[in-house]
Copies of this chain bind each other. A is one copy, B any other.
Amino acid sequence: MKIVILGTGPVCQVLAPAFLALGHQVVVGTRDPGATMEVNLGFRRLTARHPALELAGFRDAVAAADRAGLVVNAISGPACLDALAPLAGSLAGHVVVDVSSPYDWSGEDAVLDPVNTDSLGEAIQRALPGAFVVKTLNTLAAEVMPDPDVAGQDHTVFVSGDDSAAKARVGDLLQSLGWRDVLDLGGIRTARATEMMLRMWIDTSQALGTHLFGFKIVR
């Protein structure tokens, strides 16, 4: 299928090659394609290794999206609402996979905003009322998202969203990446739960000295 990834940072740089390897067509959207190719060295290297990867402005990338495919929000948390809101019309009817975290690193440590009584997943769904937003993969380091094998052990990826068909499509993609334990938490409101795990993710990564871990719901 056709997958549009919005954002060219570390998450895009691990997801795009994984989607290409599965045989999907991948279009990447960015604010300014010329600037991305000039200053984003990681992304430029990615395009050199994967000539099939297409790059376009946000608006053109979304216009090229397929309603039978997926649009992935991989824009950094604090910036993504401003980038996504103007695309609301074009994104109507599309499944939007939100993998972002609402962290604010402007202080000495990450603080979540929104938190507790709202989530970025819900805010994105409100900004894109015609889209089917599915929150997932946001409890993991970028490098673990498309490669769930951690020391040969199974762990859990969570999905939150209001539309069952959209969650099923995302679940199929996750399984094709190797995820065996896909846990449907419920509506997009449950994005609060996975976003609030960011604090645990940061503290665990500091305690362990690695980003290569996952959360398994043992039951």
Contacts and interface: CB of A to CB of B under 8 A. Distances in A.
B186 A193 contact: no
A204 interface: yes
A190 B208 CA distance: 14
A115 interface: yes
Contacts of A212: 219
Interface string A187-215: 00010111011011011101110101111
Copies in the complex: 2
A150 B197 contact: no
A215 B216 contact: yes
A151 interface: yes
Nearest to A160: B203
Interface in A71-119: 111-112, 115-117
Contacts of A115: 115-116
Interface of A: 111-112, 115-117, 150-151, 153-155, 183-186, 190, 192-194, 196-197, 199-200, 202-204, 206-208, 210, 212-219
Across the A-B interface, give the 6 residue pairs with the lowest CB-CB distance, nearest first.
A213-B219, A216-B216, A193-B200, A155-B218, A193-B203, A193-B199
